[in-house]
Every structure is written in structure tokens, then in C-alpha cells.
Structure 1
Amino acid sequence: MKFGISYSTPYHGIDPDRITAYAQDAEECGFESFYVPEHIVLYKGAMVGRYELPPALPYLDPLDTLGFVAASTRRILLGTGVLLLPYHHPVVLAKRLATVDVLSKGRMRLLTVGLGALPGEAAAVGADFATRGRRADEAIDVLRLLWEGGEDGVAFGGEFFSFEGLVQFPRPLGRLPIHVGGSSPAAARRAGRRGDGFFPGGALTAAERAAQWEIARSAAVEAGRDPDALEYTRTGSIDITPEQVEALARQGVTRIVVSATADEPSARREEMAAFAERFGLRDQPTSP
């Protein structure tokens, strides 16, 4: 099992020293990866499920934040949880992601993309909320096409994006995986058809999660892909027990992402250290 840790700026704050300390503590404790979420804009009445997001919640740009974190760490992998893919132009996004990967020496390895749940956020960036799923599918294809293209250029003709002869360097340092997040059957199918992994969210029952994981695996088979190559990431609490981790592993989970809950820095470090001790994180091989 791999273990990541998330940093949510609405909860943990936007102070740069705090972000640096959090990431360095996580790296020292042996966590595999560091995740940052995204919202581009909020507004009054923005609802995620039954929860209203206060419009003044501070969300830093995830890729800028991960680039900042990369400069103060050496090993920890960088992830988004999730990046709202339909709200980014994939040609620009491909450049930004490759840049973070190159400057971090190949650590932009846990890009997780989702569709976004706020119609007003889609409208703010000129994206049609109803077609954002198809837009995301094309964007994934464009990202990979640009990253794998050579000096002769690549072409794409789709419903949302179209170009010919584009050349974009530098490339990421090796293949840059794309994980798919979401809490719907459609997200699970997208993960199986196009993703390198599935990171479901939402308040789902155990049966619903099992069904979605099976949808992802079946979709991979239908697309001629290896379902066993899919990574399966889930969230967990910082006080998760070894028995609970073993139960998740039996469900096929390969990575668990937690978040520190303590506000005071020394207490937060103790939380991370206790987690690391419980699962022997400092004894595991480091990467990349």
C-alpha cells in the first residue's frame, strides 16, 4: 500500500511557510505523495452535494502550489486531487504540467483530474457544464498526444479542440500518468477507458464503491487495456488502523490519501510521525 497526504488550503491555510513545513514534514515521515485540490472560482450558493461552499474559501492554484512545494522538497511525488480538467485548455495545461514535472525532476506523477460539480464555475471560464465530460475526454487525449509528439508535430480534430502540426517541448520526464477522480459511474468508466488510475470521491456506500471499481475494471477490458494496471486510490483518516488498511487492500485499493487534522505545527508533526510509525513509512524505499 502507498500512502499520500493532502493539503487543503481552505482548511490548512495559504501561508507559504506553513505549506513548506507541511510538505517537508510529510516527506521526512516517508509519505509517498502530496496532493492539492482545485477550485478556480466560488460564488454564493455554490453547492457540492448538500454542502454549501463559503465563497471566501481560499484555494491556491494547484500547479503553482506544487511547483512551490517541489522547490522545497526532494523526493515526495506531486498530485492534484482533483484538477478540474474541463476548465483548462489542454494545450496550455500540457505545457504547465510538463514544466512542473521537469523542474521537479520527474515528480509530477499523480495528476488526478475531475469534471467539477459547480455550474457557475464552468460558466465563469466559458465551459458548457452539460458537455464537460466529453470535453474532459478530449483533453486527456490532447495531453497525451502533445507529450508523446515529436519534432514533426501532431494533429487533433475533435468536438472541442482542433489543431495541426503542433510541437511542444520539453516533454515530461517519462510518461506522465493521468488518474481520474469522481463519484459517478461515468467517472469510473472514464478511468477504465482512459485513466492510469481511479480516485473516487463522494459519500458512497461500500457496495457503490465496489460497483464503481468493477465498472472501471470492466471498461478497461472493453477498451483493450489491462485492468490490473489501474491504480486505485481512496481517501482515509489520519488515524486509520492497519486492519482498516488491510480491508481496503482486499478491495483492490493501492493508495490511501490522508490529511493531518492538528492545527498547531508540532501537534501536526506528531500526527504524521505516528502515522509513519504505524505503517513503517520511513522503512519503505523512496522515489523517484
Structure 2
Amino acid sequence: MKFAISYSTPYFGVDPDRVVAYARHAEECGFEALYVPEHIAVYPGAAVGGHQIPAGLPYADPVDTLSFLAAATSRILLGTGVLLLPYHHPVVLAKRLATVDVLSRGRMRLLTVGLGVLPGEAKAVGVDFATRGRRTDESIDVLRLLWEGGEDGVSHRGEFFEFDDLCSFPKVHGGGSLPIHVGGSSRAAARRAGLRGDGYFPGGALTPDERDAQWRLVRDTAEAAGRDPGRLEYTRWASIDMGVEQAEVFAEQGVTRVVVSATSADPAEQRDQMSAFAERLGLRAGY
């Protein structure tokens, strides 16, 4: 099992020195990856799961942030947790992600996408909130089509996007497509992961029974679609205070990767929390 860490730009801030110090210490501790969240825009009264989002929180663009951190690090993988895919044009996004992957020598490898839950955010970018599931499915297909297409170009006719003989370069590092993990707390997200995803990253607010049911749904959906469920990765949120026993429970549940986050906004305390986690779980020794 692998261990990653999230940097919450809304709560930890976007001071460049602090962001870089966090990422570099995470890399030194042996964390596999660094995740960054996304909201394109919020507004007074916006809420997720009954909790209001303060309108002034600085949600930095995750792709730009990861590009910045790629230049300041050398090993740690780059992830989104989650990128709101229906609010991005896939032709533009394919180029941006491939560029980060090439410039980071193949580290843009934990792209996790979700639908978003704020109707006002969808409206602000001109997306019909009710169509964001279908739009996400088509966007995943378009991303892979563009990444894998050659100099002869590729064409697409869909509900939301269409183009003819399109070429998108540079290609991702090493060729092929970037892995696309599906995030979300709904059974629709679980089915999407089984049908189209390279992995599943469920939300942290699910009950244990519902989370287990969704992971079974991911695997059953993949198998019914003729895909190998054994190739799908399973990522979970956890507390940075977790110990070896909890890690063993996750491993028994088939979890591939655990993502934690510092709980303090103080840089010194963040470093201590990361170091203590790495020591408990043996990250530097390749736990």
C-alpha cells in the first residue's frame, strides 16, 4: 500500500514558500504523491454536505499549482483530489495535463476527477448542472483519444464536443494515456470508476457499509464491462494520526493508496505531523 498527502490551498494558503516547503518535506518523508483540491469559483451561501464554504477561501488552480511544485521537487507524484472535470474543456485540459506530465518527467499520474456539487459553480462556467455526469464521461473519452492520437489526427462526435482530425502534442511522458481515477461519494461515481476509471477515490463522509458496497459496485461494474477489476486502484482518505494497525485494515480491504493531510496550518506543526506519520508507517523504508 502507498501513502500520499494532500495540500489544502484553501486552508493552508498559497504563499509560494510555504507550498514548496510542504511539498519538499513530503517528498523527503517518502510520501508517494501530493494531492491538491479544486473549486473554480465559490459564492456566498455555497455549501457541501450541509457545510458552508467561506467565500474568501483561496482555492488555487490545481494544475497550475502542481506544475509549480513539479519544478520544486524531483520524485513525488502529482495528484488532484479532485479536479472538477465537467467544468474544463477536455481539448484544453488534455494539453495542460500532458505538458505538466512531460515537464515533470512523468509525475502527473494521480489525476482524480469528480463532478462538483455546487450548481452556481456550474452555471458560472456555462455548464448545465444536470448534464455534468454525461459531460464527465465524454470528457474522459476525449482526453484519452487526444493523448493516444497520432499525427494523422483524431475525430470525435459527441453530445458536448466534436472535432475533426485533431492533433494534440506533446504526448504524455512515455506515451499512452494518463491514469484517470474517479472520485465521488455516489453510486454513479462508483459505476463510472468501474466503466471508465483506472481507480476509485470515494469521499470521506461515507459510512463503512456504503463505502464497501461502492467498492464492490466498482469491481462488479468493471467485470460486467469486460474490464479486469484487479487492475483498478482503490484510494482512501485517512487521518494523519493513523497507525500501523489501521493501515493493515485498509490493506485487507484492498486499498491501494491512503491519502492524509496535515491538520495544522502552522508550517512547523505540519512538518512534525508528516515526519511522525512517515516514522510510524515506515515510509522511508518503503512500507
Does the pair score TM above 0.5? yes
Structure-2 residue corresponding to 1:275: 277
Structure-2 residue corresponding to 1:196: 198
Structure-2 residue corresponding to 1:207: 209
1:41 aligns with 2:41: yes
CA distance in 2, matches of 1:224, 1:182: 23
Instruction: Note the 1:56-67 alignment, pairs <5 A.
Output: 56-67=56-67
Q: CA offset at residue 267 of structure 1?
A: 2.3
Instruction: Give the secondary structure class of the aligned counterpart of 2:170.
Output: coil
Q: Is the 8 Å Cα contact of residues 111 and 180 (structure 2) preserved in structure 1?
A: yes
CA distance in 1, matches of 2:156, 2:248: 44
Structure-1 residue corresponding to 2:72: 72
Instruction: Note the 1:128-277 alignment, pairs <5 A.
Output: 128-174=128-174, 175-277=177-279
Q: CA offset at residue 49 of structure 1?
A: 1.2
Instruction: Give the secondary structure class of the aligned counterpart of 1:281.
Output: coil
Structure-2 residue corresponding to 1:115: 115
With 17-26 and 215-224 compared, the bigger mean Cα shift is at 215-224
Q: Is the 8 Å Cα contact of residues 182 and 202 (structure 1) preserved in structure 2?
A: no
1:167-218: CA deviation from partner (whole Å, max 9, x where unpaired): 1111001331000000000000000100000000041111000000011001
Provide the aligned C-alpha RMSD in A: 1.0
Structure-2 residue corresponding to 1:102: 102
1:107-130: CA deviation from partner (whole Å, max 9, x where unpaired): 000000000000000000000100
Structure-1 residue corresponding to 2:50: 50
TM-score norm. by structure 2 comes to 0.98
Superposed structure 1 runs of 4+ greater than 4 Å apart: none
TM-score norm. by structure 1 comes to 0.97
With 166-175 and 57-66 compared, the bigger mean Cα shift is at 166-175
Aligned length: 285
Q: Is the 8 Å Cα contact of residues 112 and 183 (structure 2) preserved in structure 1?
A: yes
1:89 aligns with 2:89: yes
CA distance in 1, matches of 2:167, 2:230: 33
**2:2 partner letter:** K
CA distance in 2, matches of 1:119, 1:262: 30
Instruction: Give the secondary structure class of the aligned counterpart of 1:271.
Output: helix
The unaligned stretches of length 5 or more in structure 2 are none
CA distance in 1, matches of 2:257, 2:9: 22
